[in-house]
Every structure is written in structure tokens, then in C-alpha cells.
Amino acid sequence: MTGVVVGVDIGGTKVLAGVVDADGAITSTALRTTPGRRVVTSQVEDALAEAVLEAAAGRPLLAVGVAAAGFVDSAGERVQFAPHLPWQGEPLRDLLEARLGCPVALDNDANCAARAEAHHGAARGASSALMITMGTGIGGAVLLDGQVLRGANGMAGEFGHMQVVPDGRPCECGGSGCWEQYSSGNALVRTARALMAEEPSVLQEMCEDNPERVTGPMVTAAAEEGDLVARRAFASVGDWLGVGTANLIAALDPELVVIGGGVSAAGDRLLDPARTALRRSLVGAAHRVVPDLVAGRLGPRSGMVGAALLAAQARR
């Protein structure tokens, strides 16, 4: 029986595992709900292992790559800290290798998404690019000539925890005013809930008049129906996306900026206000080439594809 390489993307809400071939094509997947941040780490590892084995469907595991929403050390052995997951320095790679019986490669989820987009997607051929992933929070990565720059501690690209509002909204990381508190899936839902108190919205019917039940997909669906509350929520999140991206471009001057993650599925509903805010906020915008702001081609599965790519490379 032919062996398989499995990529796993684990974030604040879901564990997605899939068999990925050498061309980046996904042949099978399995999904689990992330147990949460306030659980013992073994529960998260249980969900991860279950998803991997289901996706493999009895085929031998050649290697597994894990894209984790957290700070991964420079050796790719540990998740040092994760705002939405319980890991804090556990030897995750070794634990999973012992459990799964195959080599395991580990990196930050946005780094993995960037690898996927560089090899198979929107950043292919770009000399330099930034990857910004918008899901539960914001992740990021820096690409130079197709390679991810991980930094001295392996933690480069944690854009979501740049402070954009001093003494602003509290963040799961322990800080306040972080960018992801204003531009992310959580921020989209929070903004929509607040706006529902100001004017009528189809979201009231969708959530059965309980704003706490509003989800990101509901806001996206409502925006597509023309709902003003949902569209205002996207405008706010998109505006903050453009402001933060302008700061990154001012610092790094990339050729391209790729937006990935689940929220990016909204397409121009998110990207149009972001592009407007980017040009308004970027220093010297009238005197430079402003990088394109584009959606990733691989969508919310880019982290999984990139994790599998990392695992396959580690086998060679």
C-alpha cells in the first residue's frame, strides 16, 4: 500500500488534516473541532492524531506536517506559546512522532500558508512577499525568493500582535490593542454584534435574536444579501487590514501582499476597503509602486498544504 504525506492545520477553532500530493493537490481530508485553549495539551494532540489517521484512511504515514497557530521555536520542535491553544513549550514534534510513528515537521501556520502560496499559489515567482492570514486571529510570514524568513527565534511574522491601539482591546496573548483585535474573524463577529444594536439586520433572524450566536459565515452570508450591518462590519475590518498592511509595507517594501485564511474567502468585500485604506495610510504612496493586495489562491487550506510540503521536504 502506497504511503502518504499528511498536512495538518490547527488553529483556534478547527483541526484540518489532509493527504497532499507532490503537486499540492488534496486527495482526502478530515476535520475536528479544536478542544480549546483551557484544556490539557493531550486533548489537542488527541484531536490532531485522530484527524491525521482518518485522512490517511489506513495508508502508511510517510511524514506529517503540522501548521500550528502559535510561536514555533527555531528548531521546529516546540510551540512556545499560542494565544488560542494550550501549548507552552511542550516537545510537540517528538510527542507526535512517537504517537504517529513517522517523521513530523512543525512550523507556524502562516509560515506554512506562505510556503504553499509561494510554491503553488499567488506568491509563485514573487521576489519578495508578505503573507497575512486572517482567521480567528491574524498570522503572517515574510517570503524572500520563495523562502520563509523565520527570524532568530523562529517567530518572525507575528503581525497580529503588533500594537495598533495603545491601551486598546484586550487580546488573548495578554497584551492590549493588538492588530488582530480589530481585523480578524473574531473582530468581524464582534463588530457585527455591536452594530446589530444600532440598526435592523438579517443577522437577527439568522441568530434567532441572540447576538452571541452570530458567526463569521453568517456575517459573510448577510453581506452577500446586502445587509448594511454585515457590510459595515466588513468595511471596518477591511479598513483596519489596510492600515496594518501599510505599516508592514513601510517597514519591508515587498513586491506583493497575499491575504489568506478563512476570512479572505469574502474576497473583494474585504479587500476593496483594505486597498483604499492601504493607499490612504501608506507613507509616500503617490511616489512609489504600491504592492498588489491579493487573495491567496489556495484559500483556507493553504496552511495544510504548506505543512505537507514542509514534511515532504524534511523527508528528503
Q: pLDDT by residue for the chain (316 residues), tens digit each?
A: 789 999 999 987 889 999 999 889 999 999 998 876 677 788 889 999 999 999 999 999 999 999 998 889 999 999 998 877 888 898 999 999 999 999 999 999 999 999 999 999 999 999 999 999 998 889 999 999 989 999 998 889 999 999 999 999 999 888 999 999 999 999 999 999 999 999 999 999 999 999 999 999 999 999 999 999 999 999 999 999 999 999 999 999 999 999 998 888 889 999 999 999 999 999 999 999 999 999 999 988 999 999 999 999 887 6
Both 19 and 89 in one domain: the answer is: yes
Indicate which CATH number applies to the domain containing 28.
3.30.420.40
Q: Which grid cell sits at 49?
A: 492524531
Same domain, 277 and 308: no
Whether residue 282 sits in one domain with residue 144: yes
Structural domain that includes position 274: 124-296
**Residues 266, 290 within the same domain:** yes
Instruction: Examine residue 82 and state whether it is found in any structural domain, yes or no.
Output: yes
User: Does a structural domain hold residue 276?
Assistant: yes
C-alpha 316, offset from chain centre: 27
Verify that 138 and 273 share a domain, yes or no: yes
Q: What is the model's pLDDT at position 27?
A: 94
Residue 186 is classified by DSSP as H
* Residues 130 and 274 occupy one common structural domain: yes
- 293 and 259 Cβ atoms separated by less than 8 Å: yes
> What is the reported pLDDT for 13?
80
**Cβ-based neighbours of 204, under 8 Å, separated by 6 or more:** 196
Q: How many structural domains does the chain have?
A: 2
Same domain for 108 and 160, yes or no, is no
As a dihedral over the C-alpha atoms of residue 198, residue 201, residue 205, residue 206, rounded to 10 degrees, the angle is -110
Could you give the angle at the alpha carbon of 167 between the alpha carbons of 166 and 173, nearest 5°?
95
Predicted pLDDT at 316 = 62
Is residue 119 situated within a structural domain?
Answer: no
**202: its cell numbers:** 438579517
